[in-house]
């Protein structure tokens, strides 16, 4: 009786051996570890840009509401907070002075986000728009402000001119954008 030629050999079925699988997972782990810092920086940059855009839109809404309703609108930290980092709200006087009406609440939801406010008039993290659309200080003068938003080394600035012009810029990349460490207000 004759034996077929390949009767004593095992046939390769097209799958992976355990060694090949472990080697592939190890290579995937090395690539993932190498890409993490890049991905983390990109995620932080996107979060800062989104928060800066939301802050700029909040400032534009505050100014437009002050102009259209002829009321004072205040951008201030959330209740119980002393900074704008966890979020902010737009508040206007309601029917009476002791009944403020909340127009908008923004909570960026980014744990690493920090928001600092530099103003021409030193004070709390509060910015007011008068019914004429200008930001004013408590002393009555024009008020310019620079909000610096940061997360894991990424920064973006939202600049508000005294007459209400809003501008976004990135320190270190935009040539006309002051660094956050500058001691002078905008």
Give the CATH number of the domain where residue 56 resides: 3.55.40.10
Q: Is residue 152 part of a domain?
A: yes
Q: Is residue 175 part of a domain?
A: no
Q: Is residue 32 part of a domain?
A: yes
C-alpha span between 160 and 168 (Å, rounded): 9
Q: Is residue 93 part of a domain?
A: yes
Other CB atoms closer than 10 Å to residue 60's CB: what's the count?
Answer: 13
Q: Is residue 96 part of a domain?
A: yes
Q: How far is CA 16 from the centre of its chain?
A: 45
Give, for all 186 residues of the chain, the pLDDT tens digit: 566 666 556 666 678 889 989 999 999 998 888 888 778 888 889 999 999 999 999 999 999 999 998 898 989 999 999 889 999 999 997 655 567 789 899 998 888 899 988 876 666 678 888 888 878 765 666 778 889 999 988 999 999 987 788 999 998 888 878 654 444 444
pLDDT of residue 122: 64
pLDDT of residue 77: 92
Q: Is residue 6 part of a domain?
A: no
Which residues are within 8 A (CB) of 146 and not within 5 positions of it... i.e. 6 or more apart?
117, 118, 157, 158, 159, 160, 178, 185, 186
> Residue 28: which domain range?
18-169
- What's the total number of domains in the chain? 1
Q: Is residue 30 part of a domain?
A: yes
Q: Is residue 179 part of a domain?
A: no
**Over the chain, what is the mean pLDDT?**
82
């Amino acid at each position: 009786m004759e034996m077929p030629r390949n009767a004593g050999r095992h046939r390769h079925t097209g799958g992976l051996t355990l060694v090949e699988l472990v080697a592939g997972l190890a290579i995937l782990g090395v690539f993932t570890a190498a890409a993490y810092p890049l991905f983390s920086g990109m995620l932080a940059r996107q979060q800062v840009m989104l928060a800066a855009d939301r802050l700029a839109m909040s400032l534009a809404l505050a100014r437009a509401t002050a102009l259209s309703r002829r009321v004072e609108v205040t951008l201030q930290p959330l209740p119980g907070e002393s900074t704008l980092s966890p979020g902010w709200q737009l508040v206007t006087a309601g029917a009476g002075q002791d009944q403020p009406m909340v127009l908008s609440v923004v909570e960026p939801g980014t744990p690493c986000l920090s928001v600092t406010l530099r103003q021409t008039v030193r004070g709390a993290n509060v910015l007011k728009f008068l019914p004429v659309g200008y930001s004013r200080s408590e002393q009555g003068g024009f008020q310019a402000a620079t909000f610096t938003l940061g997360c894991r080394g990424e920064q973006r600035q939202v600049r508000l001119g005294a007459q209400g012009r809003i501008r976004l810029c990135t320190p270190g990349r935009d040539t006309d954008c002051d660094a956050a460490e500058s001691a002078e207000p905008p």
